[in-house]
Amino acid sequence: MRILQIFLILLCGLAAAQQQTLMDYLERRLLAIEDRISLWHEQTSRYTSELREFKQQMVAQLEGLDKNKEALRSELDAVGARVDRVEREMDYLETQNGAQPCVDVEDKLVEQQVIVAKERNKAKYAKLTDCRDMIESIKGMKILKRVGGTKGMWSKDSGKVYLFNGTGEDTLYQFGSVRDFTSSQGVAAAKAVTLPTSWQGVGHVVYNNHLYYMRANEEIRLVKFDLQKSSEVDSAVFPAKDQLPVYTLNPETYVDLAVDEEGLWAIYATKENEKHISLAKVDPKTLSIEQMWDTPCLRENAEAAFVVCGTVYVAYNSKLPSRSRIQCVFDVSDMVTDDDAPTVYFPKRYGTHSSLKYSPMEQLLYAWDDGYQILYKLQMKKKLEV
């Protein structure tokens, strides 16, 4: 009995010791957890403080960037204003001191060629009007929109706008007015007119509700198309042998038709007068050629031309597009001399003009430049009698 009591006492002591050990272990674990929680709170507080400081630094840097942005914008505006002023001054200087025409022959030879040309065209041109205007400068420009590809032509006749996209298509687009054209989304709202054959180049023109365009198979033929009746009226072979592209920068165009106060004209080139551009007066009713002239204007680096009051103006550029300029002028009535015709510079745009069409009623040029439809306002002056 005594042994049993002793055994129970030992068991109780052992249990108490184990309980104390467990309590000590749990207490140490709790202290470790408390230390970790304290460390976490300390680190969280530090991170929060650092994040607050970083936020303050970022806000200060953003405010500095905003100030720098405003200062940079002001500087850019000032630079833009100076660039515009320099361009205007360059335009003025270029107009006052135009570049000399690019020629590759001697002056005496040029004079001989002019004399020969005049001998070949002794018949005096019978003017239909008393128009005495010639171009003095480009007064202003307006970019209406961009429709179509790199090359094309657009013009206005009887209030309607006509759009010709490409150099070899058979469908033109007619808009009721300039406003309809500018407000339209592409050509979806336009009236599509399909021609009996495709046109060649961009030398076509709309005149008195008729389209005059060139088509080429074995021969180059001038076609007259009634836009009101949507039917071909007449056609005739263009009476020039061994034709060449009239402009080296737009080799798709062999005949460039033009309209002015005097009526219908054709600008072309042949192997007979290989380096220079020729001009012809066309009867719009019969399509017959009334008179022809050889001009001193070179084909090389020519991009387009147009006629105003019986005077042809040829625009030049370069193979790497720079700035278009009217550098050669030829008057069929000999009323404009080289000294009277200033070199006129176009405002620099996107590339080279594929077409320039003159509107006699508005004294505007309808230009196509790299798919952009542009209007140029012309400043006129009177020709001098010679």
H or E, element range at 5 = helix 2-96
102-382 folds as Neuraminidase (2.120.10)
Q: 252, 151 in Cβ contact below 8 A?
A: yes
Q: Please give the pLDDT value at position 359.
A: 95
**123: pLDDT confidence band, cut at 50, 70 and 90?**
low
Q: Please give the pLDDT value at position 70.
A: 84
Range with the poorest average pLDDT among 246-250, 305-309, 318-322, 356-360:
318-322
Q: Please give the pLDDT value at position 159.
A: 92
Q: Please give the pLDDT value at position 361.
A: 92
**383: pLDDT confidence band, cut at 50, 70 and 90?**
confident
Apex 314 CA angle, 382 and 84, nearest 5: 80
Q: Which two tokens stand for residue 264?
A: 């219908």
**227: pLDDT confidence band, cut at 50, 70 and 90?**
very high
Q: Which two tokens stand for residue 358?
A: 């003159």
Q: Please give the pLDDT value at position 49.
A: 86
Amino acid occupying residue 250:
N
> Quick one: what percent of the chain has pLDDT higher than 90?
49
What predicted TM-score, i.e. pTM, was given to this entire model?
A: 0.69
Q: What is the mean pLDDT of the chain?
A: 84
Q: Which two tokens stand for residue 258?
A: 């033009």
Q: Please give the pLDDT value at position 157.
A: 94
Which tens digits make up the pLDDT trace of 281-340? 999 999 999 999 999 999 999 999 999 999 999 999 887 777 899 999 999 988 887 667
Range with the poorest average pLDDT among 69-78, 118-127, 128-137, 163-172:
118-127
Q: Taking Cα atoms as reference points, which of 317, 339, 312 lies closest to residue 328?
A: 312
DSSP class of 384:
P
> Looking at residues 275-280, what average pLDDT do you find?
95
**99: pLDDT confidence band, cut at 50, 70 and 90?**
very low
Q: 164, 152 in Cβ contact below 8 A?
A: yes
CB-neighbour burial class of residue 233 (10 A; exposed 0-12, middle 13-18, buried 19+): middle
On the question of pLDDT at 103 being above 50, the answer is no
Q: Please give the pLDDT value at position 110.
A: 38
**135: pLDDT confidence band, cut at 50, 70 and 90?**
very high
Domain boundaries, the chain: 1-97, 102-382
- Looking at the DSSP bridge assignments, the partners of residue 222 are 214, 236
Alpha-carbon Rg of the chain, whole angstroms?
41
